[in-house]
Structure 1
Amino acid sequence: NPSNCNDARRLVCHVKHLCGFGCMSHHIALCLSIAIGTKRTLMLKLDNFKYSRNEGWEALFLPLSETCDVSSLNLTNVAEWKGKGDLELTKNDTVAKITINTAINPNSKFAANTLPRDLMEDVKKFHAYPALWYIGQIMKYILRSKPEISKQLSQKLNSTKIYPLVGIQVRRTDKLVKEAKLVALEKYMLHVKEWYDKYKLENIGVNADTKFVKSVYVATDDDTLLDEAKKMYPDYNFINDKSITAAASVKERYSVDGLLGILTDVHILTHCDYVVCTFSSNVCRLVYELMQTLHIDATTRVHSLDKSYYFIGQWMHQHIAIYNYTKTEISVPGSQERKKNEKYLKLYRSALTLYLNSIDTKEISLKAGDHIGVDNRVEWGVTTWRGTNLRTWKTGIYPSYIAREYTEESPYDLLGNTFL
């Protein structure tokens, strides 16, 4: 909030991309991450905010800046922001803009999936994925709701507040057209059951007679899902606001009421003890990010049924190997075995050839300290990951237990004014 906006370094986040609330939030977060890193005041221009064309983002949220207004700025001759690695190529321009027509990759360490270097050592002490913690703080700032909206959200949360509480977010309408595959309710409930089994073991005891309510908050755009869940799982207490589900329908979604419904779902899911969803959904990733602001480390509080966590526009997603790992070698049976079963050998060799030639199942070897570029497009991430060893440039799969998330340092200090 500079006292004189005309003299301040500014970054205009010009979003032309037509997309939903979760997608829009991530576009703004990418811009804010770059603005913070380059010491610029962020101003927002949304061409296609379908929820409220008159009030825009400020229909429900506080302005990102109280002193700088983009409406008085002529963007025609404003330079397009450019970065490369740890450099800002437009640092001499007082005003720059980021134009987002669709998903972008700024190829910059000022973008998401990095952490200001002066925070790294402290955040690593309490969080397994520092970059996720940082983007959570950015999201929390962006989504500061107006006082009257905050009051409504608190009332909704208090009326739903039953602990323990597991949340599921199930998208079944437009999400299935291009972005994701249908995931059956049974797959969600498998992980809900596992969480409640663990909860009982840790908090009540395996042989205890104490009963507790297994409650599940259901966030969905499918008005038939609640009845389906109650019929299939009668021993669970399913909680759902039908007005929010109705507002999430394709017909009603893009309105202020629709936006408030989505925001309510996000708010309640964020306060759940555990959430099962799909990271192909922007809303699921948003919940995961905001959870980091409520707990010391919430990296294990969300389970994704499809993709690993990612941020569109992020700096390279990397793992770092913490153990040595030698890929599994398959040996061909010896001469005695070949004589016993030639038919078996033929089938075995066919399977071996498929195994070794498949990019999805071929393993790679790693040494402790190796960096791995993670393939977010492939639906691994439970017991196995897929990526490229950046030392050997071999691509394949590796067990999840031998690597952890790696956060790249941003080229600036957040609490000071030092730049590389």
Structure 2
Amino acid sequence: MAADKQILQFNGVIDIELFKLARADGWNEWRKNEAKNLNDIVHSRIAKLQNPKDCSKAPVLICNLTNPYGFASGVHDVLWCFVKAYKEQRRLVLITAHWHYAPGGWTTLFQPLSDTCSDENITAPDKNSQWPGDNNNRARWLLRTLPKDLGPRILRLHENPLAWWYGQFLKYLMRPNHQLNNALNRVFQDLNFTKGVLGIHVRRTDKVGTEAIEHHLVEYMKHVEEHFQGTELLSEQSVERRVYIATDDPRVIQECSAEVASKLETRYSNSSLWSLVIDILALSKSDFIVCTLSSGICRLAYELKVATDESFVINPNQIISLDIPHHYAWVLPASRKAMYNHKSKSPKEMAFQKGDILVYKDEYCTVNAALKGKTTNGLTYY
């Protein structure tokens, strides 16, 4: 079957009424079971592709990770490779020898992508290889698609279907190896990291002024306190305030990991990498996340949380972004269908009628919106 017949194009007319119906159905157990079934199906398909019966005959897609930017940017490049390999029914072979974050290889932190196939005889591409290709909407449009057979089920179950879809691949990619898993368990044990912990991620340093504006800690803590107050209202008892803070700015919290991450010359050290990955995994296991989704780290944590937290299908409102909504960087966001008429109140606003399809003009709109300032006031900046 041709590739274009295997997918459900998610060009983004999001049916809000469908989401309302899914949330109001009252079938919590059904929703949990459906979420587990979908998780199992996708994991089984990925594992089958990555562990073919005959490795010598299975087609492969070689992903040469040469991304010179941040950790999350590199991992999202690998995500793109993985999605493309899945769509083309190929086994993903990941080459990280040229990646400044982990020249020792992906397995420095994570489990091998295949348990049955060895990649020793596969020739690594040249360092100047441009694969995984240009980072723009034209090259990476497949990231806006869902499997045709599973698409309707995913749409019915998840408020942010693409975040869940990305999360399935990231969950497989970022399975901790034995050493990382032990380190993660030690951190969780030392911090008594259990239910009731909220996570915040404050990204500054090289991000501010280039892709987003600076947000002060008080902006994050406002939402943290509101969440705790809401929890107390529901439980009718006081709740201990426990917050996990991940940041690259020592002004936010004086910790060694923040000090290392704040300096570009030490950010790419092994200790910084381990601290960063532990932060991402810890944030994904928090009950609630406050961050800026202009940051790739925040998006990684959110995508992993959507894919791994079984409570997400019951309560999807477990994240607050101080700036822009979830997206894949440099890929055109989904369109929106107007539910009401709107008459512009100033030259800066756009008038539209109920039923109109609102389309972002280009893939740079998300960065431009984050640089324009706060978008937590109900407005969307195109």
Shared topology, TM-score over 0.5?
A: yes
Q: What is the one-letter code of the residue matched to 2:369?
A: V
Contact persistence 1:113–1:132 (CA under 8 A): no
Residues 1:259 and 2:273 are matched in the alignment: yes
- Once the two structures are TM-superposed, the CA of residue 31 in structure 1 deviates from its matched residue by 0.7
**Which structure has greater helix proportion?**
2
Counterpart mapping for 1:306-345 below 5 A: 306-312=323-329, 314=331, 316-321=332-337, 323-328=339-344
The 2-side partners of 1:106 and 1:65 are apart by 30
Aligned residues: 316
Q: Does the Cα contact within 8 Å between 1:49 and 1:57 map onto a contact in 2? A: no
2:100 to 32, 50, 57: 50
1:282 is displaced (CA, Å) by 0.8
Secondary structure at 1:44 match in 2? strand
Does the C-alpha gap of structure 1 residues 126 and 369 become closer, same or farther in structure 2, counting only changes over 3 Å? farther
Report the counterpart of residue 29 of structure 2 in structure 1: none
Q: Any idea what the Cα deviations from partners look like across 1:121-180, whole Å, max 9, x if unmatched? A: 222222112111111111101101112211221231233225422211112323336333
Residue 22 in 1 paired to residue 72 in 2? Answer: yes
Residues 129, 159 of structure 1: alpha-carbon distance in 2 compared, 3 angstrom cutoff = same
Helix, strand or coil: the match of 1:52? coil
Q: What secondary structure sits across from 2:106 in the alignment?
A: helix
User: Equivalent residues in 2 for 1:123-142 (5 A)?
Assistant: 123-142=154-173
Which of 254, 258, 262 aligns to 1:245? It is 258
Cα displacement (A) at 1:6? 4.0
> CA offset at residue 4 of structure 1?
3.8
- Give the aligned residue type for 1:39: Q
Displacement of 1:278 after TM fit? Answer: 1.1
Gap change, CA 1:124 and 1:102, over 3 Å in 2 = closer
The equivalent residue for 1:219 is 246
Unpaired segments ≥5 residues, structure 2 = 1-50
1:304-383 matches, cutoff 5 A: 304-312=321-329, 314=331, 316-321=332-337, 323-328=339-344, 355-356=346-347, 361-368=348-355, 370=357, 372-373=359-360, 375-376=365-366, 377-379=368-370, 380=375, 382-383=377-378
Per the alignment, residue 168 of structure 1 pairs with 200
2:235 paired residue number:
203
Q: Deviations over 1:328-379 (max 9, x none)?
A: 4x6xxxxxxxxxxxxxxxxxxxxxxxx32xxxx2223133373533742314
- Aligned 8 A contact 2:82 2:92 in 1: yes
Q: Provide the secondary structure at the position in 1 that maps to 2:205.
A: coil
How far apart in 1 are the matches of 2:178 and 2:213? 38
Give the 3-state SS of the residue equivalent to 1:112 in structure 2.
helix
**Match of 2:297?**
283
CA deviation map 1:286-320 (0-9, x unaligned) = 01101102133364211111222111354x42243
Output the CA distance in 2 between the equivalents of 1:368 and 1:25. Answer: 37
Q: Deviations for 1:156-213, whole angstroms, at most 9, x for unmatched residues? A: 1233225422211112323336333221111111211221222222222xxxxx4332
Q: 1:99, 1:284 → 2: CA distance?
A: 25
Q: CA deviation at 1:16?
A: 2.0
- Partners of 1:324 and 1:224 lie apart in 2 by 44
Local SS of the residue matching 1:11: strand
Alignment check: 8 A CA contact 1:51 1:258 kept: no
Amino acid of the residue matched to residue 357 of structure 2? Answer: D
Task: Compute the displacement of 1:322 (Å).
Answer: 5.8
Counterpart residue identity of residue 152, structure 1: A
SS at match of 2:168: helix
TM-score with structure 2 length normalisation? 0.74
CA deviation vs aligned residue, 1:195-232 (integer Å, no higher than 9, x gap): 1222222222xxxxx433212211112233236xxxxx
Contact 1:173 1:221 in 2 (8 A): yes
Identity score, percent: 27
Does the 8 Å CA contact 1:321/1:366 hold for their aligned counterparts? no
Deviation at 1:56, TM superposition (A): 1.8
* Amino acid of the structure 2 residue aligned with 1:65: S
Residue 385 of structure 1 is matched in structure 2 by 380
Q: Secondary structure at the match of 2:359?
A: strand
In 1, Cα distance between equivalents of 2:294 and 2:188: 25
Q: Which amino acid aligns with 1:63?
A: P
- After the TM superposition, which residues 32-47 of structure 1 pair with which residues of structure 2 at under 5 Å, given as runs? 32-47=82-97
Q: Aligned residue for 1:268?
A: 282
Paired residue secondary structure (2:78) = helix
Q: CA RMSD in A?
A: 2.6
Aligned with 1:311: secondary structure?
Answer: coil
Map of 1:230 onto structure 2: none
Separation in 2 of the partners of 1:378 and 1:179?
9
Residue type at the aligned position of 1:367: K
Of 113, 135, 138, the residue aligned with 1:64 is 113
Aligned residue for 1:248, secondary structure, equals helix
Supply the distance in 2 between the matched residues of 1:42 and 1:155 (Cα, whole angstroms): 32
Amino acid at match of 1:61: F
Q: TM-score, normalised by structure 1?
A: 0.68
Larger radius of gyration: 1
Instruction: Give, in whole Å, the separation in 2 of the partners of 1:75 and 1:51.
Output: 18
